[in-house]
Structure 1
Amino acid sequence: MDICVYRPGELSAADRVAWTALQSKAHLNGAPGLANPFLSPEFTLAMGRCRRGVRIAVVREDGEPAAFFPFQRTATGVGRAVGLGLSDCQGLVHGPGFGWDAQELLRACGLAVWEFDHLVEGQPPFEAGASGTFPSPVMDVDQGYEAYLSGLRERSPKFTRTTLAKERKLARDSGEVRYVHDERDPAALRALMEWKSAQYRRTGRSDRFAHAWISRLIQQLFHTRSEPFAGILSVLYAGGRPVAAHFGLRSERVLACWFPAYDPDFSKYSPGLILHLRMAEAAAADGIAYLDLGRGQKEYKDSLKTRELAVSEGWVTRRHPIAVGHRARRAPVRALRNAVLSRPEFFDPADRVLKRMGKIRSRSQVTAKTTKT
């Protein structure tokens, strides 16, 4: 393989066009998962502006780009998927019939190990290192929104009836319900981030937006526009007031759901569910094939999904002491996390503890603010 490794700013315009072309034809070549916006050049370039160590390996055949492998690496050769822990789709973007040797690729990239947690399906050289595979539910809208809604009524009649009734009640109680699929008001994005931060704290989770680089990344992607790619902020309004919002990424055929949140004052109306149905309707009208809800077991995902993709986590390693040490440190953490998430007898008590801690933390922050004022 002829492999060249570039910093994000060094990638030529021609290579970017070739990368996008591979994604646009992925569904025709039997690999629709490669069209995911997390695998786009725009996401990798945005990550490169926010994090160190982002690189892109371009594999050429007869002088022409045949595959693109975005990754992050440390000075010691520890590699990871771009946005590991944040991105919902990872892997090597390639054309039909392309094969590669994982060991040769890592060697050319200067990596002792490459870690992933959302590996897209259809990557055998990487899948050999997978330690687990997990469902990633999707909402298919390629046949139109009415077909999706009809299927939803058949699968979950009570859920569908209740959600639509709550939307009507929201309109009666709060005023006209209005949906904006691609909201460009930065104030709406700030509201979403504030709601999401409060949700993280309330449920005892780590606040992602407390990390300056993540907030900066979201801001950059919000302002990123190209023919196939965009950061999409969708907002549900009631009586002119935003009550739910979502920020995700879209490619030509996939809307990747990423950061949903809502105003807790309106929780009884399930505004997040209403928002997702409106998103599905708008995405179908926009030519999107499916909404990827992302890995993770959530009740609302089970209610909305039409099917599931599979994503994998694990490591591809070379025979190197750095690889052995990295895997030895990371494997127990991943195994414990997956055991807790997959077993209700572990997850439910852990979730209750986190929520109690979140309430205590929230009360402490309120008390601190009151004391200062």
Structure 2
Amino acid sequence: MTAGVTARWGVPAFDLPPTAPGTGPFTSRAFLETWWAHRSRPDDELMLVACDDALLPLLRRADLVAFLGEQDLTDYHSPRGDDLTEVTRSLVAAADPGWQFSFNSVPEPAASLLQAALDASGVAATTTRRQAAAVIDLPATHDAYLEGIGKKQRHETRRKRRRFAEELGKPRLERRSGDEAVATFAAMHRLSPGDKALFMSSQMEGFFAGLHRDAGAVIDVVCGDGGEPVAAGFGFEDATGYYLYNSAFDPDAGAGSPGVVLVSLLIERAVTEGKAVFDFLKGDEPYKFRLGARERPLFEVTGRFGASP
């Protein structure tokens, strides 16, 4: 297959592995096509630059070329395939010299390979660290995980579970699915304080419903003795990891720390299932690192197609 630009979602290159491993659903056709259906603008141009060896899943918005998926909703961006030379040359040949590019949220090794491919294509580019994801490398057992987070945090995790049990009953983690599960999650999200409640508009709920229906997103809830959900996690999972995309809890149950208990139960289950990582995705909230996460740097590759190195 000769490299070229297409707007056809069925390109075989979507079957190639992501250039940056450990990027969950975010470079998959299912996630990106769902994002396009719910979040793209009428004037956006779909640009899937593909060949046998690689894929650049892009869009053009006015004079800017970027990866599909706004960075606030797409925690990782990456090409697919391990040789970006041909697809990058094809992109450069198709681009107007006045167009700019901004490839954000790119982990290694994809950022370096993309920079090298642009250099080889005669286009000046700059790679800058912008953000980081927070990732826990999981051990073989939950006891080993608790040992690794230290005495203070281990005590706090156990204390929060005891407090939950005292207030709400023994916590249970349950997998839910279907329209009702999405509605429960969205309604709980709207109970959040401040801007977080405003995030879950009807349009955003439709996007989350699409991710659950078409892109493999899973919904887990924590219940007490009453059987009603008091916290919910919206995430993705694959053979190697769980990716916590969003979460919410019922503020009326706040005395039982349901959000904290939700995360601790999700981590415990990921360990039990033999996952290698628990990925909190973007964000530098301190609690993630207290629970054992490390930073995974994310980079932005920027430039203008008409500029030479």
Residues 54 and 82, structure 1, Cα contact 8 Å, conserved in 2: no
Q: Percent identity?
A: 23
Q: Which amino acid aligns with 1:189?
A: V
Quote the offset at 1:21 in angstroms.
4.8
The residue that corresponds to 2:127 in the other structure is 130
- Equivalences for residues 1-373 of structure 1 within 5 A: 2-8=2-8, 10-12=9-11, 15=12, 19-23=14-18, 31-33=20-22, 35-50=23-38, 51-52=40-41, 53=44, 55=46, 57-60=48-51, 65-74=52-61, 76-84=62-70, 85-95=72-82, 98-100=83-85, 104-108=89-93, 110=95, 112-122=99-109, 123-126=111-114, 128-141=125-138, 143-152=140-149, 154=150, 157-180=151-174, 182-199=175-192, 202-204=193-195, 207-210=198-201, 212=203, 214-224=204-214, 230-239=216-225, 240-319=227-306
Q: Distance in 2 between matches of 1:190 and 1:176?
A: 24
Residues 137 and 305, structure 1, Cα contact 8 Å, conserved in 2: no
Q: Which amino acid aligns with 2:10?
A: L
CA gap of 1:255–1:269, structure 2 versus 1, over 3 A, is same
Q: Distance in 2 between matches of 1:144 and 1:68?
A: 37
Quote the offset at 1:266 in angstroms.
2.1
Q: Distance in 1 between matches of 2:239 and 2:86?
A: 29
Unpaired runs of at least 5, structure 1:
321-373
Quote the offset at 1:303 in angstroms.
1.3
Residues 54 and 70, structure 1, Cα contact 8 Å, conserved in 2: no
Q: Distance in 2 between matches of 1:285 and 1:72?
A: 39
Unpaired runs of at least 5, structure 2:
116-124
CA gap of 1:143–1:108, structure 2 versus 1, over 3 A, is farther
TM-score (ref. length: structure 1): 0.69
> Greater helix share, 1 or 2?
1
Q: Distance in 1 between matches of 2:295 and 2:146?
A: 17
Q: Distance in 2 between matches of 1:206 and 1:315?
A: 33
The residue that corresponds to 1:333 in the other structure is none
TM-score (ref. length: structure 2): 0.82
Quote the offset at 1:218 in angstroms.
1.0
Q: Distance in 2 between matches of 1:55 and 1:286?
A: 38
After superposition, what is the alpha-carbon deviation per residue over 1:163-186, rounded to whole angstroms, capped at 9, x for unaligned?
222212222322232111x32153
Quote the offset at 1:115 in angstroms.
2.2
Q: Distance in 2 between matches of 1:87 and 1:274?
A: 26
Count residues in correspondence: 290
After superposition, what is the alpha-carbon deviation per residue over 1:188-238, rounded to whole angstroms, capped at 9, x for unaligned?
322322232342xx33468332261x322211111236xxxx211111111
CA gap of 1:57–1:271, structure 2 versus 1, over 3 A, is same
Q: Which amino acid aligns with 1:22?
A: P
The residue matched to 2:68 in structure 1 has which SS? Answer: coil
Quote the offset at 1:117 in angstroms.
3.3
Residues 67 and 94, structure 1, Cα contact 8 Å, conserved in 2: yes
Residues 37 and 254, structure 1, Cα contact 8 Å, conserved in 2: no
The residue that corresponds to 1:335 in the other structure is none
CA gap of 1:100–1:270, structure 2 versus 1, over 3 A, is farther
Q: Which amino acid aligns with 1:39?
A: T
CA gap of 1:274–1:244, structure 2 versus 1, over 3 A, is same
Q: Distance in 1 between matches of 2:103 and 2:202?
A: 21
Q: Which amino acid aligns with 1:49?
A: A
Q: Distance in 2 between matches of 1:48 and 1:189?
A: 20
Structure with the greater relative contact order (CA < 8 A, sep ≥ 6): 1 or 2? 2
Q: Distance in 2 between matches of 1:101 and 1:177?
A: 52
The residue that corresponds to 1:329 in the other structure is none
Quote the offset at 1:249 in angstroms.
2.1
